[in-house]
Amino acid sequence: MAAAALAALAAAAGPGALAAQDEAANVHDGDTVRITSFGYLRAGAGWRGGGDAQRCFQLPGARSKYRLGNECETYVEPGVDLSFGPRDGPRLGLHLRGALTATELNDFDDVDTVAAETWISLEGFAGGAFSGAEIWAGQRFYKRHDVHINDFYFWDGTGLGLGLADVDLGWSSMSVAYFTGSAFDLETSLDDTPYDRVDLRFADIAAGGGDGALTVGMDLRLPDADGLPNDGGAMVTALWTRSARNGAEIMLAGQAGFGAGTSLSYVSNAEAEDGDRALRAVGSYTWNASDAFSIMATGVAEWQSDDRNWYSVGMRPVWGLGRDLYLAVEAGIDHVVPEAGGDRTLGKLTAALEWKPGPDFLDRPAVRLYATTAAWNPDAERAGIAPAHDGRDGVNVGVQVEHWW
């Protein structure tokens, strides 16, 4: 019965969802004009045990949550890139992306739409080191790095600004950008923000043998308002990736924040003192082992000088059951040491029956039937982790479609 339900939902998603896997389905390529559509979608319905619509589990003080069977909104992020100009000459690009969020699950009483990206670029304007570079300006998602299973964007330069990206230095690729606003969407970035930012990165540095690559960067925070408790700050990051011979992908990152940069985010910490410090380590492991098994695992440790710490570890193995059916099991634990009060802990476990058209971990679209259970300690309960659930545990069940193109 479950397999039949998944097949029916896949059909309901429509042939367009499957066709989007083929680049020809979302690209118009002319002599001087190229149009590419792209985007992301997740939608579904869920219910909590003994109650109404699903309520998700995220530990107060944790920056993210393990997402399988634990997402309480419909989210759509469509975009389009337009490129004008000859292939062998300067090309002007226009890049647009919107975002729609509808909550709460099943009801969608609150619908929010924003202009997530609106920026222009110029490519092919010079040869040599600049042959693959671009000049850009506007609001954009800038060189983001994340871990999929907990949707954690640990290095994200998003904002409103301008820059020069991907200059080939031989030993690395250099990018520099100046941001006058730092927010997820254009309207918020246009509002007065207390800091400007300068983001400098060197990528594709050979490290660790084979195809190991290192990216290092510094993000300076420059005060742009009166009455701030700090003189700005900075965030520095080192990110190392490598593909192993067995097909696994390894990622390790270390980050440090100073003053306003202790947010470890594109949004600066306007309440930090100059002497405040933050450290974070992130790791992930992804392995497409065979047609019958894949896995992603991650770990995070973050320390703040004001004694606010966060630790997280989780994994999602996926087993093939045959005929495009898979069993995904995701387990995750978050632990937060707050500035005041007792330590908080949350454990979450999800089992999901998935239909998807390929065995690799990130193959999409995916249609899921899931059941999620979570439990937390008394201090997490006092912090208001899940007031919709009675006691210190809860259960959600539901169905979800996830796709990107």
Q: Is the pLDDT of residue 80 over 90?
A: yes
The Cα–Cα gap between 176 and 157 comes to 11
pLDDT digits (tens, 9 = 90+) for 358-400: 999 999 999 999 999 999 999 999 999 988 888 899 999 999 9
Q: Is the pLDDT of residue 52 over 90?
A: no
Q: What percent of the chain has pLDDT over 90?
A: 82
Instruction: Summarize the confidence of residues 250-268 as an average pLDDT.
Output: 98
Q: Is the pLDDT of residue 13 over 60?
A: no
The Cα–Cα gap between 400 and 356 comes to 12
pLDDT digits (tens, 9 = 90+) for 173-229: 999 999 999 999 999 999 978 999 999 999 999 998 789 999 999 999 999 988 999
Q: Is the pLDDT of residue 9 over 60?
A: no
Q: Please give the pLDDT value at position 14.
A: 40
Task: Detail the DSSP E strand segments found in 24-73.
Answer: 27-29, 33-48
Q: Is the pLDDT of residue 5 over 50?
A: no
Report the relative pairing of strands 91-103 and 145-147 from DSSP bridges.
Answer: unpaired
Phi, psi (deg, nearest 5) at residue 166: 65, 50
CA geometry: angle 241, 247, 252, nearest 5 deg: 20
Residue 163, token pair as written in the block: 């820059």
pTM given for the model = 0.92
CA distances from 208 to 240, 244, 402 (A): 9, 11, 35
Sign of CA dihedral 103, 104, 105, 106: negative
Cis peptide bond upstream of 229, omega within 30: no
Reading phi first (left if > 0) and then psi (alpha if -120 to 50, else beta), residue 32 is in alpha
The Cα–Cα gap between 237 and 218 comes to 7
Measured in residues, the chain has a length of 405
Q: What percent of the chain has pLDDT over 70?
A: 94
Q: Please give the pLDDT value at position 18.
A: 38
Q: Please give the pLDDT value at position 7.
A: 43
pLDDT digits (tens, 9 = 90+) for 122-153: 999 999 999 999 999 999 999 999 999 999 99
Q: Are 355 and 288 in contact (CB under 8 A)?
A: no
The Cα–Cα gap between 385 and 400 comes to 23
Q: How many CB atoms are closer than 10 A to CB 46?
A: 23
12-35 b/e with 16+ CB inside 10 Å = b? Answer: ebeeebeebbeeeebeeeeeeebe
Sorted by where each starts, the structural domains of the chain and their CATH numbers stand as 2-404 (2.40.170.10)
354-371 b/e with 16+ CB inside 10 Å = b? Answer: bbbeebebebbbbbbbbb
Residue 123, token pair as written in the block: 């490519």
